[in-house]
Amino acid sequence: MKKFKIFIIFFVILFILSNQLLADDIDFEGFDNSSLILEASSSIDEENIPTINSRSAIVYDRNSGTVLFGKNENEKRKMASTTKIMTCLIVLENANLDDIATVSSKAAGTGGSRLGLHTNDKISVRNLLYGLMLCSGNDAAVALAEHVGGNIQNFADLMNTKALELGLSSTHFVTPHGLDNDEHYTTAYELAVITNYALKNEIFKNIVGTKSQTITINNYSKTLTNTNELLGNLNGVYGVKTGFTNGANRCLVTAVKRDNMDIICIVLGADTKKDRTQDSIKLIEYVFANFSPFNLKEKIITEFENWKLCNINSFKISKGITNDIDLCLEELNYDFLPLNSNQIQNLNIYIYCDYIFEAPLERNHILGYLTVYINAKNILTLNIYNSNFISKKDYLTFFSDLLKDYVYYLESVFYFH
C-alpha cells in the first residue's frame, strides 16, 4: 500500500512537471517583473548594436515597414503563444463578440497555460479573447477555434488563408494556441507583418494593451492579468504577446510608440524569461536612442520638383499634338522613415527618365523612376509617369504644322535678306 501511494505521488509530480514543460506562458522562473526590467534597463548600452541571447529577433518600423534591426529574422521558428495574435485576429474578423460559446470537453481538457474553462461552461467570445490574450489560455484558444471554425483544422485553414493574403510564404499554422508542432512555424519578420496588420484593428489593440480585466464565466467573475512583463512597465509599450514552449523557448512580441516612432520588437528563442526581457529592452532602447524620424517624403518631393523644373522642356513627343507633358511621381505611402545619423549623411536620390516618346502617349504611362539609396543600397523605387493623354497628330494637323514651319522658314529667309 505504501509503495502504491509513493507511485501515485510520483505520478502526480511527473504529470505537473510535464504540463509545465509543455505549457505555454506558465511562469515558473520566479522573477519579479519590475526588478527584472529595472536590471535590464540599467545595463543598456544605447550606442552600440546590442548582443542578444535570442536566436531570432527583429525591430520593425510600423510606419514604413522597414527593418531597423534583424537577427535571423527570416529563419523559420516555432513561435509558441505568439500564435494567438493570428488567432485573435481571425476571431475578430469572423465572429460576433457578444456571441456566447459553449466550451467543449476538448477545449476544457487542453493543457498548458489556461483560462480555467470546464466542459459546458458558457462564456462570450469577447471574454474568451481576453482569456486568450491576457492569461494566454490554451483552453480559450480551442474554444474560440471550435466556435468560429467548427473544429481546429478548419480554423487553422482560416489562419493559413489569412497568412497567404498578407503575402507570407514562411508561415504555417496547425493549432490556435501554438503548442509545439513541427508544421507550426513562422519567422520574426513575418510575425511582425502579422502583428502590424492586427494592431490596425482597434479592438485587438485595446485587448492586448489591457493590463488586467474582469470577465464572467457562467455569470461568475474572474480577474485576469496580462502575462506581458513590459506592458505598463516600459515607456511607450502598448502590447502585444508573450510565449513559451520547450520547442520555441521564450518569445515576446512588443509594440512601442514614442513620439513619431512606432515599432514592433520581436524576440524568439530566448533561453529564459530574463533573457527575453533583457533582449527586448536592449533592442527597444537602442532603436529609440539611435534612430529618429526623417521626413523622406518631403526630401523626395523637393528633389523631384527641382529636377522637373530643370528638365520639363527637354521632353519630345514625336508625332504628338503637343510636347506639354504633365510629369507625376508615384505616391509614397508614408512620410517619415527612422534613420540614424550615418544613414542620413549617406542618403542619395537618383532620377532616371527617357525624354523622347512617340504619340499617342497614354495617360499614366511610366516614363522613368526615382530611386533612394542609403549607404549604396537601394531602399526605395518610385515610378515617374504622365497624368495627361497626348494624342497623335492626324494628317490634317500634320500638314498644317508642316505648312506653318515652311512659312516660318520663308519669313526668316526674307527677314535676314
Q: What are phi and psi of 399, to 5 degrees?
A: -70, -30
- Cα-based distances in Å from 102 to 96, 105, 123, 160, 306: 14, 10, 7, 25, 65
> Which grid cell is 4?
502504491
Q: Grid cell 510606419 — which residue?
A: 63
Distance CA 211, CA 360 (A): 62
Residues listed for the chain: 417
- Give which of 134, 125, 324 is closest to 217, Cα–Cα: 125
- Give which of 290, 241, 294, 296 is closest to 264, Cα–Cα: 241
* Catalytic-labelled residue, pool 64, 104, 113, 136: 136
Q: Would you call 388 helix, strand, or coil by DSSP?
A: coil
* Catalytic-labelled residue, pool 71, 78, 84, 282: 84
Is 136 one of the catalytic residues? yes
Is 274 one of the catalytic residues? no
Is 84 one of the catalytic residues? yes
Contact criterion met (CB below 8 Å) for 234 and 211: no
Contact criterion met (CB below 8 Å) for 262 and 63: yes
- Give which of 215, 14, 191, 193 is closest to 116, Cα–Cα: 215
Q: Which residues contact 127 (CB under 8 A, 6 or more apart)?
A: 215, 216, 217
* Catalytic-labelled residue, pool 56, 64, 81, 280: 81
Q: ∠ CA(106), CA(108), CA(109), 5° rounding? A: 65
Q: Which residues carry out catalysis?
A: 81, 84, 136
